[in-house]
Amino acid sequence: MNTEQGVTGAERVLLVLAALASHGKAMSVKELLAVTGLAQSTLYRQIALLKRWGFVAENAGHYAPGPISLQLALGFDVNSLLVEASRSEMQRLARASQESIGLVVAVKHQVMCLEMVDSQHSLRCSFEKGRAVALKAGASAKSLLAFMADKARTEVLDNLFNDDPAGRVAIEARLEQIRAQGYAVSDSEVDPGVWGVSAPIFHRSGRGAGSGASITLMAPSTRAVGRESQFIDGTLRTARAISERMQTD
């Protein structure tokens, strides 16, 4: 896949940064070429620019986010209004449920975890802050898709289900159900043996305003049995409390 003609010069830099940020470990040139779709000469120019500014570091021909990226991450933690408004409510839900709680947002065609409060159980879910997964399966993805603005949702579904019209029809029907009930539930859709419930956070008043984030409770499926209603109710209360805080701040 060659995306060279479809993006601007600035977007080529962002393609490289986004690839490195989401990969989770250092990447080779071959891996970066496959993910970004850039020509090799173009990729090397972007890497050289990013290295010069400290956004990328190199070790033995492999590339990873550089020290300036860490400063950005620290700045985000300090200044994110959404994370700050959510943290205490997430901690309250984690204490009540004894399970892991994540704050997730949609970034392009991925679900990204902005904040995580881990369960104290030795057996817990592996989702972690900064991790990104496809915006397609699981409670988090379906909550984000169901409650995002119509135009944004259509763009994502066009991309994800371009060659799967039957899958597109099925997911749209499921998203309609999720909007009606106000939350999404999944079991083993992303990670085997993990049950989850996710509810939207609204930044402005009214369900029609669109949601850019969700709160997700994650638990091993074996611990969720018989507690589903408790977990759903707690997650809905938490999402509503955060939404109220975001709308008054």
CATH code: domain of residue 107: 3.30.450.40
Confidence of residue 57 (pLDDT cuts 50, 70, 90): confident
**Choice between 19 and 207, residue whose per-residue pLDDT is larger:** 19
CATH of residue 38: 1.10.10.10
Give the count of domains, the chain.
2
Domain final residue, candidates 71, 99, 127? 71
* 192 shares its domain with 222: yes
Q: What is the pLDDT of residue 74?
A: 58
Q: What is the mean predicted confidence (pLDDT) over 209-213?
A: 65
For 36, 117, 120, 187, the CA distances from 97, given in Å and listed in that order, are: 40, 12, 11, 17
**Choice between 78 and 115, residue whose per-residue pLDDT is larger:** 115
Domain final residue, candidates 38, 71, 104? 71
- Percent of the chain past pLDDT 70, that is, above it, reads 86
CA nearest neighbour of 187 among 217, 157, 208, 210: 217
160-186 pLDDT per residue, tens: 888 888 989 999 999 999 999 999 999
- The SS3 of residue 127 is coil
Instruction: Tell me the whole-structure pTM to 2 decimals.
Output: 0.69
- Average pLDDT over the chain reads 84
* 155 shares its domain with 96: yes
- The SS3 of residue 128 is coil
Which domain covers residue 47, as residue numbers?
4-71
The secondary element (H helix, E strand) that includes residue 229 is helix 228-248
Query: Within a 13 Å sphere around the CA of 130, how many CA atoms are in the beta-carbon half?
Result: 15
* 90 shares its domain with 157: yes
For residue 217, pLDDT over 50 is answered with yes
Domain final residue, candidates 30, 47, 71? 71
For residue 140, pLDDT over 90 is answered with yes
Distance separating the N- and C-terminal Cα atoms of the chain: 44
For residue 100, pLDDT over 60 is answered with yes
* 157 shares its domain with 231: yes
